[in-house]
Amino acid sequence: MAPSRNRRPGFSRRAQYSLFLGYVIAVAGSLVGAVLLALATLDPPAFAALRATLAEVTTPISSGIAALGRGIASIPSSASDYVGVRKQNALLRKELEDNHALLMRARTLSYDNRRLKALLKLREATPGPVVAARLVSSSASSTRRFGVLNAGSWQGVMQGQPVRGPEGLIGRILETGPNTARVLLLSDPESIVPVRRTRDGLPALAAGRGDGLLDIRSASLANVGFEPGDIFVTSGTGGIYSPNIPVARVLKRARDTALARTFAEPDTLDFALVQQAFLPVASAAAAPAP
Amino acid sequence: MRQPTRGPFDAAPPPAAARLLPPASVLLASLITTWPFIATFPSLPPFGLMMLLGWRLTRPDVFRIWAPLPLGFFDDLVSGQPLGNAMLLWTLCFFMIDLIDQRLVFRDFWQDWLIASGAIGFCLIVGRLVAAPLGAHVDTVLLLQIVISAMLFPLVARFCAWLDRKRGGE
């Protein structure tokens, strides 16, 4: 292309000054950018209000596009549903028969469980759901893993509440706006969830890796073996996540730190359920009186 | 970049719509992250930056030197990176391109592509160092993201040139 090396914009003083001023603004602005970057790194929720304001505008658009996409994507499946419904009916009837015996056994077990718990006077805090919403978009070009939820403080969503999907834990609320909230997904490199193994209650930490998988680190003993297929659920330690939400399944045999895949696949864009924090921070701080 | 005062025989300045098209296209490209898609790893190229570089390298006169500041500020609000990241890095890229403009006088598209790839790689790598902890396992996918973005740059530059023709740039 043609050279543009002539930086003097002519003899006009005004043009020269405006060019010079442009450079002054650019240098000053990049310094301001560096300061903002330092502030945002030291105090991540510092500019949450700005982001939330913009998200208020973009989230309805994302929701609309997502609804449109779901509508189009559901056409082939509903057509095949119509064809396959008869066969499915027979299958389901058979399954119902098979499950009947299992159900009776489970009922007795549940009854026993209730009675035993009453005997132990175990008070179980079962946090209720706050709102069911959808994850509408995510930070796809960044190395951080955030999602945007289309419900916010007007729906009762508050910072620190856990978010789960039908299959398992998705993450927790990081920032809220009036109608939107930012969710720190499980696979974010800065997300850590206390978990335990279902098999023997072994405590561990599930830390995000940034590439969609989790690292399960043993929290108690050294030299702990993880087997492929080990299932980890939240332990309730720390007071954010209520216990027994499925988190991840170990992929490979390993010692002390194992690779695991989350149960909830956020990219399926399904419903997300925001729950109350298991033990809200304020009451936890007030609790240790004696 | 260069805005000489208009002499009596110069062409009239372009209408507002034509002047607003480049920044608007960069903002829209930044907004691609709001597309309803939940990524499990960084997979989307930084389209805002690529659009900005496309405009800067095909038409050096449409953006002033300070233009990356407001555009980067907007990109930071939607991209998930900490605020100030794109403001700083995009402006540094503009400074570098400005320097290269004076050293490397006659350029081809190949050189432009190389410059853009370098700028994209610089912004993504520094952005990763700033945003994610050093131990995060994102480096392989980041490399993939950089390669994809560099490969897509000619398309974006083409798109910028097409937009430029549509808005009546000479």
Q: Which residues of B touch A190 (CB under 8 A)?
A: 132-133
The CATH number given to whatever domain includes residue A136 is: 2.40.10.340
Residue B13 lies in a domain: no
Residue B129 included in any domain: yes
CA distance B114 to A86: 60
Report which of residues A127 and B27 the model is more confident about.
B27
Selecting from A29, A34, A66 the residue whose C-beta is nearest the C-beta of B66 gives A29
A148 touches chain B (CB under 8 A): yes
Do A32 and B68 form a contact (C-beta atoms < 8 A)? no
H runs (alpha helix) in chain B:
16-30, 47-58, 68-79, 85-103, 109-131, 139-166
Q: Which residues of B touch A248 (CB under 8 A)?
A: none
Nearest residue on chain B to A259, alpha-carbon basis: B137
pLDDT tens-place string over residues A94-116? 888 888 888 888 888 888 888 88
Is B131 buried (19+), middle (13-18) or exposed (0-12) by CB count in 10 A?
A: buried
pLDDT at B16: 78
Question: What DSSP character marks residue B12?
Answer: P
Of B83, B119, B82, B79, nearest to B98 by C-alpha is B119
Residue of A4, A39, A61 with shortest CB distance to B60:
A4
Examine residue A40 and state whether it is found in any structural domain, yes or no: no
| Percentage of the residues of chain B whose pLDDT score is greater than 90 | 51
Instruction: Tell me whether residues A144 and B106 touch, CB distance under 8 A.
Output: no
Q: Is residue B26 in some structural domain?
A: yes
Q: Do A30 and B145 touch (CB under 8 A)?
A: no
Q: Measure in Å the smallest separation between the Cα of A38 and chain B Cα atoms.
A: 8
* Chain A residues in contact with B46 (beta carbon < 8 A): 141
Joined together, the tokens standing for residue A85 give 């419904």
Q: What is the domain count for chain A?
A: 1
**Residue B108 domain flag:** yes
Helix axes B68-79, B16-30, angle to 10 degrees: 30
Residues spanned by the domain of A252: 47-71+127-278
Supply angle C-alpha B146, B147, B150, rounded to 5.
85
Neighboring chain A residues of B51 at a CB cutoff of 8 Å:
none
Going by pLDDT thresholds of 50, 70 and 90, the confidence category of residue B93 is very high
Are residues B38 and A33, on separate chains, in Cβ contact within 8 Å?
Answer: no
Residues written for chain B: 170
Query: Could B39 and A19 be called an inter-chain contact, meaning their C-beta atoms sit closer than 8 Å?
Result: no
Distance from CA of B17 to the nearest CA of A (A): 22
Q: For residues A242-247, give the mean pLDDT.
A: 86
Nearest residue on chain A to B72, judged by CA atoms? A33
- pLDDT at residue B35 above 50? yes
CA of A13: which chain B residue's CA is closest?
B5
Q: Which of A1, A46, A54 sits opposite B107 (nearest CB)?
A: A1
Picking from A11, A31, A37, A217 by the largest number of B CB atoms within 10 A of its own CB, the best residue to mutate is A37
Q: How confident is the model at residue A123 (pLDDT cuts 50, 70, 90)?
A: low
A2 pLDDT above the threshold of 60: no
Contact A38 B145 (CB under 8 A): no
Chain A nearest CA to B109, separation (Å): 8
Pick from A166, A162, A186, A150: nearest CA to A57: A150
Q: Are A44 and B82 in contact (CB under 8 A)?
A: yes
Q: How many domains does chain B have?
A: 1
- pLDDT for A7-66, tens place per residue? 666 778 888 888 889 999 999 999 999 999 888 888 877 788 888 888 888 888 888 888
Q: What single-letter amino acid sits at A290?
A: P
Mean pLDDT value across residues A120-136: 73
pLDDT over 90, % of chain A: 10
Specify if B109 maps to a domain.
yes
Q: How far is CA A268 from the centre of its chain?
A: 13
Question: What's the pLDDT tens digit per position in B54-88?
Answer: 999 988 888 989 999 999 999 998 888 888 899 99
B7 within a domain of the structure (yes/no): no
CB of A171 closer than 8 Å to CB of A190: no
Chain-chain contact of B133 with A137 (C-beta, under 8 angstroms): no
**Domain residues for B147?**
18-34+43-166
Q: What residues in B contact A211, CB-CB < 8 Å?
A: 40-41, 137-138, 140-141
Contact B102/A5, CB-based, under 8 Å? Answer: yes
pLDDT exceeds cutoff 50 at A286: no
A96 domain residue, yes or no? no
